């Protein structure tokens, strides 16, 4: 079978998020739930569709950057739409300055995205409170916005777009909006979400779901009063995030799961965050996880042969790699981190510019990545890494949060709960040898 190298290369782009409603992407998609310790997306879906279809729910979803959260959330979107819900999914990083986010920024972006989605369906929204707000904001920002005939979504977009690029405007506007957060929240519910729910049900829909992706990327910058941004948003102001009158799923930084604020976080939202762990390549006892490796091999081969049945792809390994051992090395050294696996493969293809890919080329790519990582690890972090190697667990202190955020340590789950291991690329370094 002839393999199109360029098409294969494009399919392995690590920055690409699969959308399972797309026919081609569906061929690339691999369901890892059997080895990830639970059917997390099914749990999120059931909470909305089965347990609380008519009562607003609020869920938190997290995991390592690049572990496949966006792909899973797009799968959730597709399945909810099949069940009759109107779903608004968006990447918050497109609308927010992730180093400087406040609660009112998130609320306004949600209102804008929902409003845009409803306007596309021909729904109109009254904007009594917001019409007055737009007029006052116009004076503050000194914009040419025509408040009398502006669309709800356009008015909010005018606010968010101008302040995203200007810290001075952002501070100025927040000084005005922050004391009005409660009123803004009530207006979003009364003028947008509640009428939308009613109209959607009249149209035969079961309700409205908002999925806010990429909030896990908010930076751990310190607010002027000393509070870290993730803790401020999700713990201090979490009560307001959960007051929207529709189903909402927020992504959040994984570091919060390991902070001393984890208990307060669960109290604020009334739920514990759902964590998407890595795909295991080894089990807790360090024996090989055959099922995890088999699924990772299928993920690679599906990018090369999307139209070939899974059981037949195995016979085509040597069309892509010089041996099955080279593919196994790629899967093992990735540690089950989806984006890192694709990045190694992507770089290997770019280096060789031909097939089959050789073990030598893969080892060179791995070594280059290892060298990059070694330059960023501090001495005290090496000691923490050695403890992870021995104990397969982490504590909640800031050092371990840094290791997890930096992808030096990965989380896995099995029937006994969470366990941790170091990034496999670091496993053979001198600093970690006994």
Delimit the domains of the chain by residue range. Answer: 5-12+279-369, 38-276, 379-432
pTM of the model: 0.93
CA distance 163 to 178: 14
CA distance 222 to 232: 9
Which segments in the chain show pLDDT lower than 70? 1, 127, 141-151, 162-165, 396-397, 434
CA distance 378 to 390: 19
pLDDT at 428: 81
Q: Are 33 and 41 in contact (CB under 8 A)?
A: yes
User: What topology is assigned to 38-276 in CATH?
Assistant: Rossmann fold (3.40.50)
pLDDT at 147: 45
pLDDT at 163: 67
Question: pLDDT tens digit string along 321-360?
Answer: 999 999 999 999 999 999 999 999 999 999 999 999 999 9
Count of C-beta atoms within a 10 Å radius of residue 126:
12
Peptide bond into 356 cis (omega under 30): yes
CA distance 335 to 427: 10
Q: Are 72 and 63 in contact (CB under 8 A)?
A: no
CA distance 211 to 37: 23
CA distance 140 to 163: 11
- Chain position carrying tokens 């770089």: 347
Q: Are 218 and 98 in contact (CB under 8 A)?
A: yes
CA distance 116 to 123: 9
Which tokens belong to 287? 């024996």
Which tokens belong to 333? 């050294």
Q: How many helices, marked H, and strands, marked E, lie in the chain?
A: 21, 7
């Amino acid at each position: 079978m002839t393999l199109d190298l360029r098409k294969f290369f494009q399919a392995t782009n690590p920055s690409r998020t699969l959308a399972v409603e797309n026919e081609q992407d569906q061929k690339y998609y691999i369901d890892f739930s059997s080895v990830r310790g639970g059917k997390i997306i099914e749990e999120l879906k059931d909470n909305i569709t089965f347990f609380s279809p008519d009562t607003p729910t609020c869920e938190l979803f997290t995991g390592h950057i690049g572990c496949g959260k966006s792909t899973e959330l797009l799968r959730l979107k597709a399945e909810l739409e099949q069940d009759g819900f109107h779903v608004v999914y968006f990447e918050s990083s497109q609308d927010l300055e992730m180093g400087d986010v406040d609660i009112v920024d998130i609320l306004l972006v949600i209102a804008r995205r929902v409003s845009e989605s409803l306007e596309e369906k021909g729904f109109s929204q009254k904007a009594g409170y917001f019409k007055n707000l737009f007029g006052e904001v116009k004076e503050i920002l000194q914009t040419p916005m025509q408040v009398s005939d502006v669309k709800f979504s356009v008015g909010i977009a005018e606010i968010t777009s101008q302040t995203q690029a200007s810290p001075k405007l952002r501070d100025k506007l927040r000084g005005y909006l922050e004391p009005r957060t409660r009123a803004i929240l009530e207006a979003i519910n009364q003028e947008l979400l509640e009428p939308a729910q009613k109209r959607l049900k009249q149209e035969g829909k079961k309700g409205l779901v908002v999925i806010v992706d990429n909030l896990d990327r908010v930076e751990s910058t310190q607010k002027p009063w000393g509070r870290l941004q993730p803790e401020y948003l999700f713990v201090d102001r979490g009560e307001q995030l959960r007051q929207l009158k529709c189903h909402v799923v927020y992504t959040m930084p994984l570091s919060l799961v390991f902070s001393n604020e984890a208990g307060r976080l669960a109290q604020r939202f009334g739920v514990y965050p759902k964590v998407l762990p890595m795909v295991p390549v080894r089990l807790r006892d360090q024996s090989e996880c055959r099922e995890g490796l088999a699924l990772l091999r299928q993920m690679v081969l599906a990018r090369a042969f999307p139209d070939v049945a899974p059981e037949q792809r195995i016979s085509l390994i040597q069309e892509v790699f010089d041996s099955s051992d080279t593919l196994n090395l790629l899967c093992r050294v990735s540690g089950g981190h989806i984006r890192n696996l694709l990045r190694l493969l992507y770089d290997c293809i770019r280096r060789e510019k031909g097939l089959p890919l050789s073990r030598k080329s893969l080892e060179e790519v791995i070594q280059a990545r290892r060298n990059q990582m070694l330059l960023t690890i501090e001495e005290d972090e090496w000691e923490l890494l050695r403890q992870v190697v021995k104990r397969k667990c982490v504590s909640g202190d800031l050092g371990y949060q840094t290791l997890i955020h930096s992808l030096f340590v990965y989380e896995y789950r099995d029937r006994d709960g969470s366990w941790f291991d170091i990034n496999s690329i670091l496993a053979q370094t001198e600093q970690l040898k006994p």
